[in-house]
């Protein structure tokens, strides 16, 4: 570089363009490696297929054949009948079922009953099994892996019929049923490893950016957000939540610009309802936090962070103009820390919630979940946590903004809203 030329300044268009080019190159190289690995695997299995005979097998079919060759019998237990079931019996049966899994003795787990859900045709009992590997040097593990069990007790089937059981692993949507799928210890290790990698603030921000980019462009499902959110919750007292929210908010907005089955309206509704349920359960103590987060301040911070996630998603998905007017852009890559911190404060979406949620429920298919949104807003307003006044104002304002919807024709809804408004200290 000659003396007359000056290097690009941090935050300048030249530096931003270089940063974008670098990120695009890294993502493209990663994609190419994945494609090459898939080709190598396919070639290997085609060779094995030729040895096995003329019958045509795909990659996943061959994995099933490997399991059959091992002649492994998936173990199960006798689950109780509907008339025998209660919360304690469910806890005992889950513990008995887990003992049929093959895993190293260093793993420890605890079983927590989360909640009971009353549906039209059944009652569903939710349990969480939290796994970890404590050591002498680190008796409190840095990360845990959770398995969520659901036990369904039918209201219409005969009482002597057994209950229905299924379970899912954290950050995974594949539903398992006892006796039909084989447990693999690697699933727990992968969950913990992904959390530990993202524990550091810098790694967490990188993970949020890359995951947000892949989700918003429709390459992967929205469940990829969950890992970043869970790590942010577990390290809420050590990280800057505003920076995490900035990356998530930009990614939410990008979801509206690319059409994909992973980010369509149905996928957004399902994901947002899951976040709402997680926020409500944490606020009401149905999902206990880690032992290191047992203080009231940590509970308030976690609840506040999840409400921020809800507000950001609603604002970005309500209409096209509102996020742009508020300064939300694409998943850009900033190089100046001061610029990142300043912009994250500008992207605060809590004050926009009343207007944004009214715009959102005015469009299909969001009109079908208005009752769930109103119920959640009321429950969060009355939650036993110390939320700042601006959050209380936004929640109450959102309830009042939806007062002309059909859900408010139910006496139980408008009576509850009236009681909330009457309790407000003017």
Give the model's confidence band at 66: pLDDT under 50 very low, under 70 low, under 90 confident, else very high: very low
Query: Has residue 328 got a pLDDT over 90?
Result: no
User: In the prediction, which pLDDT does 339 show?
Assistant: 42
Query: Has residue 369 got a pLDDT over 70?
Result: yes
Cβ proximity of 393 and 350 under 8 Å: no
Query: Has residue 205 got a pLDDT over 90?
Result: no
H-only helix segments in 217-334: 224-234, 241-255, 265-283, 296-318, 321-325
Cα(122)–Cα(212) distance, rounded to whole angstroms? Answer: 37
Q: Which of 19-33, 150-164, 323-337 has the highest mean pLDDT?
A: 150-164
Give the pLDDT mean for 291-310.
78
Cα(203)–Cα(142) distance, rounded to whole angstroms? Answer: 15
Query: Has residue 99 got a pLDDT over 70?
Result: yes
Give the model's confidence band at 335: pLDDT under 50 very low, under 70 low, under 90 confident, else very high: very low
Phi/psi class of residue 327: alpha, beta or left (left: φ > 0; alpha: ψ in -120 to 50)? left
Q: Lowest-pLDDT range, 177-191, 276-290, 304-318, 361-375?
A: 276-290
Nearest to 251 by CA among 268, 235, 236, 275: 268
Torsions phi, psi of 404, nearest 5?
Answer: -95, 5
Torsion angle, alpha carbons of 248, 222, 131, 385, to 10: 50
- Over residues 28-59, the pLDDT tens digits come to 777 777 677 667 666 665 655 554 444 444 44
Q: Lowest-pLDDT range, 67-71, 191-195, 310-314, 322-326?
A: 67-71
Q: 3-state SS of 265-291?
A: HHHHHHHHHHHHHHHHHHHCCCCCCCH
H-only helix segments in 53-184: 59-70, 87-98
Task: Give 6 or 53, the one with higher predicted confidence.
Answer: 6
Cβ proximity of 306 and 349 under 8 Å: no
- Over residues 226-269, the pLDDT tens digits come to 877 887 887 776 666 677 788 788 888 888 777 777 888 888 89
Q: Name the average pLDDT for the chain.
A: 78
User: In the prediction, which pLDDT does 165 show?
Assistant: 95
User: In the prediction, which pLDDT does 289 show?
Assistant: 72
Give the model's confidence band at 67: pLDDT under 50 very low, under 70 low, under 90 confident, else very high: very low
User: In the prediction, which pLDDT does 259 show?
Assistant: 78
DSSP 7: P
Nearest to 152 by CA among 138, 166, 135, 142: 166
Give the pLDDT mean for 338-343.
42
**pTM of the predicted model as reported, rounded to 2 decimal places:** 0.57
Query: Has residue 62 got a pLDDT over 90?
Result: no
Tokens of 187: 């699933």
The sheet that has 108-118: what strands, in order across it? Answer: 108-118, 122-132, 145-154, 164-169
Give the pLDDT mean for 131-160.
87
Torsions phi, psi of 175, nearest 5?
Answer: -90, 125
Tokens of 14: 């030249």
Q: Lowest-pLDDT range, 89-98, 119-128, 346-355, 405-414?
A: 346-355
């Amino acid at each position: 570089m000659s003396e007359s030329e000056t290097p690009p300044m941090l935050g300048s268009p030249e530096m931003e363009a270089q940063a974008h080019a670098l990120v695009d190159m890294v993502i493209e190289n990663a994609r190419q490696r994945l494609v090459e690995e898939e080709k190598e695997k396919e070639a290997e299995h085609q060779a094995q297929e030729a040895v096995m005979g003329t019958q045509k097998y795909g990659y996943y079919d061959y994995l099933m054949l490997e399991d059959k060759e091992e002649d492994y019998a998936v173990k199960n237990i006798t689950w109780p009948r509907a008339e025998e079931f209660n919360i304690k019996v469910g806890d005992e049966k889950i513990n008995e079922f887990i003992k049929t899994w093959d895993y190293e003795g260093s793993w420890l787990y605890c079983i927590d009953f989360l909640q009971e859900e009353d549906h039209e045709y059944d009652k569903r009992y939710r349990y969480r099994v939290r796994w970890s590997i404590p050591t002498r040097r680190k008796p409190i593990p840095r990360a845990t892996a959770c398995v969520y069990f659901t036990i369904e007790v039918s209201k219409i089937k005969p009482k002597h019929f057994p209950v229905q059981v299924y379970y899912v692993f954290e950050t995974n949507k594949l539903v398992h049923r006892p006796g039909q799928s084989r447990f693999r210890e690697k699933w727990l290790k992968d969950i913990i490893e992904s959390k530990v990698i993202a524990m550091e603030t810098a790694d967490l921000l990188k993970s949020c950016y890359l995951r947000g980019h892949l989700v918003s462009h429709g390459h992967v499902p929205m469940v990829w957000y969950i890992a970043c959110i869970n790590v942010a919750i577990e390290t809420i007292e050590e990280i800057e939540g505003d920076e995490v929210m900035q990356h998530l908010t930009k990614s939410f907005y990008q979801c509206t610009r690319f059409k994909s089955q992973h980010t369509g309206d149905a996928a957004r509704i399902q994901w947002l309802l899951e976040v709402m349920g997680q926020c409500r359960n944490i606020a009401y103590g149905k999902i206990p936090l880690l032992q290191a987060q047992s203080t009231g301040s940590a509970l308030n911070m976690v609840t506040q962070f999840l409400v921020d996630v809800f507000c950001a998603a609603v604002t970005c998905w309500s209409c096209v103009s509102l996020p742009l007017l508020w300064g939300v852009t694409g998943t850009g890559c900033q190089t100046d820390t001061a610029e990142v911190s300043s912009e994250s404060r500008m992207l605060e979406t809590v004050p926009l919630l009343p207007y944004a949620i009214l715009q959102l429920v005015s469009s299909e298919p969001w009109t079908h979940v208005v009752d769930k949104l109103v119920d959640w807003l009321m429950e969060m307003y009355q939650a036993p946590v110390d939320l700042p006044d601006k959050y209380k104002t936004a929640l109450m304002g959102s309830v009042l903004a939806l007062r002309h919807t059909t859900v408010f024709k139910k006496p139980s809804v408008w009576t509850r809203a009236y009681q909330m408004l009457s309790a407000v200290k003017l």
